[in-house]
Amino acid sequence: MTYYVRAPGTCGEFLQGSINGQSFLVTCPINRYSYALSNVKHPFSQHYCALQPKSALARQLVQRLLEKKNIDQTCPPVYVRSDIIQGKGMASSSADISVTAMATALAMDYNLSLKELEQICLSVEPTDASFYQGVTQFDYIKGTISQPLGMCPPLKILVFDEGGSIDTITFNQQVDLQTKILEKEPIIRESLDLFKQGLKTHDINLIGQAATLSAFGNQRILYKANLYDFHDIGNYYNSVGTIIAHSGTIMGLLFPVDYSRIDDCKQEIIRKLPHLSYVDTVETTNEGLTYIKR
């Protein structure tokens, strides 16, 4: 039996920080994906099929879990490919790890619970939890918070990159990181309140305000030189807010899905901020991890 598993990446996070010392992020899943196929020999060219070390570790963790449950199955071949750009804060590793783990388990006749999947992902690295449906408030380090917040209203996101790449594990090992996160708490409290109200009322303007607050508050943690000018151009073109990868290099402008001048905004950013690189124009999604038998 072959399983086809898909999980979305993210456009950074709607917000990230801590309240009362408890670190968390709020996911922003988008319609760009990692895919895994089990029990298929080289379905794509070898360039796309090789498991990344983190995905290979996830596969091993599934095997150990099933051994503890006395499930004796041969571990099948699993191949992974992805639409998600790596090293930019778009949850490429998290998506790869989650689809690898689920495809491996399903092929061994076991359906991982989302909690089991969460723990496997966290055992490999801090994770973005985009495998959950909708938007989730999630402790990306220890998993002590895993709170569904609801379904995200449709948004289109114009994504640009400041350049370079950031390793999630290295970023989270900074000596003074927790001090800086604690200093940001008043901003995160306000941001989370706005965000929850925006979800409750389906008000994308409140969601955009919440994302912008968190983005600006993150400047002392990971400075983005072009953020304020980027946001100002978005304001001129009626963006509802600015979103960033809090531990990555991308930033995006949030728009209603039917907004007609996104390409004009894109061209203006390219002209006025030549150090930024256009990445993609994406949409939010609420589907989480999905799979089918083939």
Please check whether residues 144 and 184 belong to one and the same domain: no
Q: Angle between the 114-124 and 53-68 helix axes, to the nearest 10 degrees? A: 130
Please check whether residues 63 and 76 belong to one and the same domain: yes
Other C-beta atoms closer than 10 Å to the C-beta of 275 total 10
Please check whether residues 112 and 192 belong to one and the same domain: no
Specify the CATH number for the domain of residue 241.
3.30.70.890
Specify the CATH number for the domain of residue 75.
3.30.230.10
Calpha distance 294→274 (Å, rounded): 46
Please check whether residues 211 and 100 belong to one and the same domain: no
Mean pLDDT for 215-236 is 96
Mean pLDDT for 116-142 is 91
Please check whether residues 85 and 158 belong to one and the same domain: no
Please check whether residues 168 and 243 belong to one and the same domain: yes
Please check whether residues 184 and 250 belong to one and the same domain: yes
Please check whether residues 109 and 212 belong to one and the same domain: no
Give the pLDDT score at 190: 98
Contact 153, 206 (CB under 8 A): no
Please check whether residues 16 and 143 belong to one and the same domain: yes
Please check whether residues 133 and 192 belong to one and the same domain: no
The more confident residue out of 31 and 127 is: 31
Mean pLDDT for 74-98 is 88
Contact 26, 149 (CB under 8 A): yes
Checking if the pLDDT of 146 tops 70, the result is yes
Residue range 232-288, pLDDT digits in tens: 999 999 999 999 999 889 999 999 999 999 999 999 999 999 999 999 999 999 999
Total structural domains within the chain: 2
Torsion angle of alpha carbons 277, 279, 280, 284, nearest 10°? Answer: -110
Please check whether residues 186 and 139 belong to one and the same domain: no
Please check whether residues 18 and 134 belong to one and the same domain: yes
| Structural domain of 180 | 151-283
